[in-house]
Amino acid sequence: MIAANLLSPGVGLIVYQAIGFLILLFVLGKFAWKPILGALKEREDSIESALLSAEQAKNEMQALQADNEKLLAEARVERDSILKEAIATATSIKESAKEETSKITARMIEDAKAAIEIEKKAALTDVKNKVAVLSLEITEKLLRKQLEDQKAQKELIDGFVKDLNLN
């Protein structure tokens, strides 16, 4: 019966099938599956690494941004402090200048006062001296006139002596 052929494998077909499959396994394995699987793996790896690096770049970007903000804030703080300092310095300079000026003015006024006082004293002394000289001269003249007689002279001397004793 031909039906028996269904279950009786042909020796030739077994041999050819084995050889044919081995050839396919070798040819496809070497020239198709290896490059295809390699390329697939390479592509998957590259996609994965690209995703990873993108994530990394994002993180770096964020860090950079944070850094920038920090720097900006620091700069702002520094600027503020510098400004404050400058204002303080300016104020202190102004203040001290004012003080100096008033001191100088005061000293000048004092000096002027002192000079005026000295001048005044000098003038007064001068006047006194002049007055004294004049009084002496007047006195002399008066005395000369009065002491033209002896009696008057004697009276005067006595008066002086009296005064001396009293002292």
Residues that bind other proteins in the complex, under the rule CB under 8 A = 1-18, 20-21, 23-25, 27-29, 31-40, 42-43, 46
**Token digits for 5?**
């052929």
- 3-class SS string, 90-112: HHHHHHHHHHHHHHHHHHHHHHH
| Nearer residue to other proteins within complex by CB, 36 or 57 | 36
Give min distance, CB of 25 to other proteins, in A: 5
- Between CA 155 and CA 152 the distance in angstroms is 5
In the DSSP assignment, the letter for residue 3 is T
How many C-alpha atoms does 42 have within 13 Å on its Cβ side?
A: 6
| Nearer residue to other proteins within complex by CB, 43 or 76 | 43
Give min distance, CB of 53 to other proteins, in A: 15
Give min distance, CB of 8 to other proteins, in A: 6
Give min distance, CB of 57 to other proteins, in A: 20
| Nearer residue to other proteins within complex by CB, 36 or 157 | 36
Give min distance, CB of 52 to other proteins, in A: 16
Q: Closest by alpha carbon to 14, among 22, 26, 25?
A: 22
| Nearer residue to other proteins within complex by CB, 34 or 162 | 34
CA Rg value for the chain:
66
| Nearer residue to other proteins within complex by CB, 22 or 57 | 22
Residue with tokens 């198709």: 32
